[in-house]
Each structure stands twice: as C-alpha cells, then as structure tokens.
Structure 1
Amino acid sequence: MHEYAGWHGRRGRGRDREDGPPGPPAWGGWHAGGWHGPWGHHHEDGGGFGVRRPLRFLAHKLDLSEPQVTELANILNDLKTERAQAEVDDRRTMAAFADAVAGNSFDEARAKEGADLRTNSAEKLREAVTKALGRIHALLDDEQRKRFAYLIRTGVLAL
C-alpha cells in the first residue's frame, strides 16, 4: 500500500496506523475544499474556497501586495459562494433522483429534472472558475503568474 494510502485507501488522507484511524500526512496543501495543513482540513470559514488560510498561503507564496490580497480575497469569496450553491444544487439533485426511484414506477421526468439540475450547476461552476482564473491572471504580475501556475501544476492548488 502506498505510504499515503490512508484509512479510506485514498492518497493524502493520512498514514495507516495499527492502533486506529490514520494519522496526519507529513505535508499539507491548498485546494478547492480549503487548506490542508498537516492535521487535515481547516474549515474555519464554512468550507469551499476558504479565504483565511488559502489567502494567507497565496499571499506568502506569491508575495502579494496589500491591494492584491484584498482583491484576491474578493475573488475567492465569490468562488466560495458559487461552490456553496453547487453543494445545494447537488443535494437537490440527489433528492430528485431519490424521488424518481421511490414510487411504484420510475419517474423519468423527475430523474431528468435532477440530471438537468446537475448539468446546469456544473456549467455555472465552470463559468465561475473560469472567471475567477481570469480575474486572478489580471491581478498578478508575470512572476506571480508563473508561481501561481506552478502551484496548480504541482497539485498544491486545485481548482
């Protein structure tokens, strides 16, 4: 088993231990779900694209000026709002799927309604991420863009 294949068998979830649940991985990183420090998720601000730790992390890694930090906070907050809406839409999708199979006969219209909601939600999120990346690109200078791209390429930052 891979060193980081943890309790759930997924990379990065912690090391296996003989005495119970996995311990923390030896590393951390930032991704769409928030900052992963060495002790796991930190959702101080409600999850999604959190602004506190990711902002501090990016401000340090990209050497952002104070105005850049302020604008990046706004961008991340807007994206966090879209991700929260996507989570609501996902719950509605699952409810529609459950309704479709709950009756004596399959309710195809309700299943399609759920599938359409999922598709529309994914499209909105795609647009929000694309817009956020464009805003971030405009905010950063050439060197900062290179560092930002490196963080994405290496998986430290996942969008």
Structure 2
Amino acid sequence: MINDFQDAITKLCQRFSLEKPKNNEGIFSLKVGEQGIHITKYPKNKILMFAHIEQAKIDCHATLFQKNMFSEVLLKPVLSQEDNTNDWVLWNRQDLHESSIETLYQKLELLSYSSDELLMGSTMTQKEKSSKGALMDIRHCYKN
C-alpha cells in the first residue's frame, strides 16, 4: 500500500535501485529507454504518469484510435492531444491510496511499452504483445 506521493516515489526509486530525489514534491521524471516519463500527484489523491509523444513520430491515425479502445488491461494508458500545442500525451492515472509498488510498476511498464509502440509505429496484435512480454530499461531519473 502506498501512503502518499513521496512514498510512491521512494518505493519506485528503491525498485529500480535509483537514488531517492531530494525534492519530490512536484513532478518526478524518469528516462525509460529513450522516453521521458513524468509522475505527479494530479488531481489530489491520484497518481498520474504521462509521456509526451512527438507528433511527427506518429504515422497512423488508426493506431491512435485503437490505443484508446477499452480492454481488459485496467491500467492501460490513454492517448490524448494537448489543446494548446497539439502535442500527443500518453497518460494513466489511479487512486494513490489504492496503489501498490506492483501497480505503479505495471503502470510505468504499460506507459513505456505503449510509448515505444507509438514511436516505432508498431501494429502488433494483443496476442503478439502478450507472447513477447515487456521489460523496462530504466536509465536514470532527472529533474525538470
């Protein structure tokens, strides 16, 4: 069970053997592979993870609509477009007090995997995805 945002960040850092940030009040950012993933508390008592996806790297609009279709994956990220810049944002959110280190890890993994898929233009089926599995390569954390 996660107690608060600071506890969530501390446990994620421990999970990845990263040094705990000195100030994790606002946004905590990780570099997962080549993608920056940001974690914050928004709105109150929710934990939000998001990644900006460069529009130029998204080729197929049908893939975008398929990404947002409901599925059995409860923590599946949602793809949205920011209204001011038209940048794509991949995000997921859940209640902070219902989170555990396992669900946080799963959310981060799903976000990273979905981000990589979009950037590579992957159109693998759900069956192909589940047979391959997903492993994250956490490089380091950085401050905004």
Is TM more than 0.5 here? no
TM-score (norm 1): 0.26
TM-score (norm 2): 0.28
Q: Greater helix share, 1 or 2?
A: 1
**Higher Cα radius of gyration:** 1
More strand, by proportion: 2
